[in-house]
Structure 1
Amino acid sequence: MYTVADLKKGLKITLDGDPYIVIAFDFTKPGKGQALYRTKMRNMINGTILDRTYRSGETFEPASLEERQMEYLYKEGTHYTFMDQQTYEQVVMEEEAMGDAKNFLLENLKVDVMLFGEKAIGVALPNFVNLRVIQTETWAKGDTSGNDSKPATVETGYVLRVPPFIDEGELITIDTRNGEYSTRVKG
């Protein structure tokens, strides 16, 4: 059990049967009376934001979340399918629960899937993934017009800015935390 004194940004709790993560927190001590704890929480299943104020002494249940390493198998419509490597159990996740992670998923990529009960509610990607550039503008050698980057589309359909020397068919490393180009893969 957590008390309101345990509340902090990033804490995961269960509220009304759903998992929530605290995204903002403020402590106020008025001149008289009990201290007030103002929180802003995001529902980890549907993404809704909840503002609540609590008084000292109130308690919360920790969110019973489990993270399991799984392999991304395929996308069918708006559903993404993952498989547990130990049990071969498959889990399906809705596209809205994927967030930006869908931009970097390739078949057979190992990811950490967050589960609430048996429902998949989030994906943690590796910090860097290698994706192939499938479309970009050609660069004229000696072009010094000042553009130090150009748009490129990778095999997942994600569009990002890359240096002008990157060509179609090249493998690049992308930082999944910010979605930006990191380096060109040699070889």
Structure 2
Amino acid sequence: MISSNDFRPGVTIELDGGVWRVVEFLHVKPGKGSAFVRTKLKNAQTGSVVERTFRAGETVPQATLEKSTMQHTYKEGENFVFMDMSTYEESTLSAQQIGDRVKYIKEGMEVNVVRWGTQVIDVELPNTVVLEVTQTDPGLRGDTATGGTKPAILETGAQVMVPLFIEIGERIKVDTRSDTYLGRDN
């Protein structure tokens, strides 16, 4: 159990049968009446955000999340098979469990899988990945580094906007949080 006075951004609690992460909190002590804590909570499973008020000192169950490092070994149909790097056990996750970041997963990539009990809550990818460009329009003569951008499809199927000078076969760095081109891989 955790007191509402101990809420900080990133704290996870169990509420209404789900896991919620504290995004913002504010301790309010009005001149008249008792103190309370105003919070903004984000559902770890669905991503929905709600605002909720707790009495000061009110206790709620703290969610115990387990994070394990797993490596993507192969794809089986529409499912992705991961191996736990500490126990060498295999787990199968669907594309729905991974979410929209599935477009960056390639074989051999290590990810952090966050579980609440037996339920997968989140799959955390590295902040940057290096992927090969498999399809893009050819660059035109006279293109410069400060010129425009064009769409490029990467080896995993992800599409990002890249500078005009990038060609098929080049390896580029991509930010997985914002889907942006960071530069060429050296």
Query: Same fold, TM exceeding 0.5?
Result: yes
Match of 1:62 in 2: 62
Structure 2's unaligned 5+ residue stretches are none
Report if the CA contact (8 A) 1:152-1:162 is conserved: yes
Report the CA distance between 1:73 and its aligned residue: 3.0
Counterpart code for 2:47? G
Report if the CA contact (8 A) 1:40-1:49 is conserved: yes
Report the CA distance between 1:86 and its aligned residue: 2.9
Q: Secondary structure at the match of 1:153?
A: strand
Report if the CA contact (8 A) 2:69-2:110 is conserved: yes
Match of 1:95 in 2: 95
Counterpart code for 1:112? N
Q: Secondary structure at the match of 1:62?
A: coil
Structure 1's unaligned 5+ residue stretches are none
Match of 2:12 in 1: 12
Q: Secondary structure at the match of 2:61?
A: strand
Instruction: Write out aligned runs for 1:95-174 (5 A).
Output: 95-143=95-143, 147-174=147-174
Per-residue CA shift, 1:124-156, capped at 9, x if unaligned?
Answer: 212221111111111112147x84321111112
Counterpart code for 1:80? F
Q: Secondary structure at the match of 2:101?
A: helix
Report if the CA contact (8 A) 1:93-1:121 is conserved: no
Report if the CA contact (8 A) 1:65-1:117 is conserved: yes
Could you say if the C-alpha distance between residues 54 and 77 of structure 1 is closer, same or farther in structure 2, counting changes exceeding 3 Å? farther
TM-score (norm 1): 0.86
Could you say if the C-alpha distance between residues 136 and 52 of structure 1 is closer, same or farther in structure 2, counting changes exceeding 3 Å? same
Report if the CA contact (8 A) 1:36-1:54 is conserved: yes
Counterpart code for 2:39? T
Larger displacement relative to structure 2 (61-70 or 79-88): 79-88
Report the CA distance between 1:17 and its aligned residue: 4.2
Provide the alpha-carbon RMSD of the alignment: 2.2
Report the CA distance between 1:181 and its aligned residue: 1.2
Report if the CA contact (8 A) 2:143-2:165 is conserved: no
Match of 1:184 in 2: 184
C-alpha distance in structure 2 between counterparts of 1:83 and 1:158, whole Å: 23
Report if the CA contact (8 A) 1:12-1:19 is conserved: yes
Larger displacement relative to structure 2 (39-48 or 117-126): 39-48
Match of 1:31 in 2: 31
Q: How many residues align?
A: 185
Could you say if the C-alpha distance between residues 89 and 118 of structure 1 is closer, same or farther in structure 2, counting changes exceeding 3 Å? farther
Match of 2:175 in 1: 175
C-alpha distance in structure 1 between counterparts of 2:77 and 2:55, whole Å: 45
* Identity, % of aligned positions: 42
C-alpha distance in structure 1 between counterparts of 2:173 and 2:89, whole Å: 30
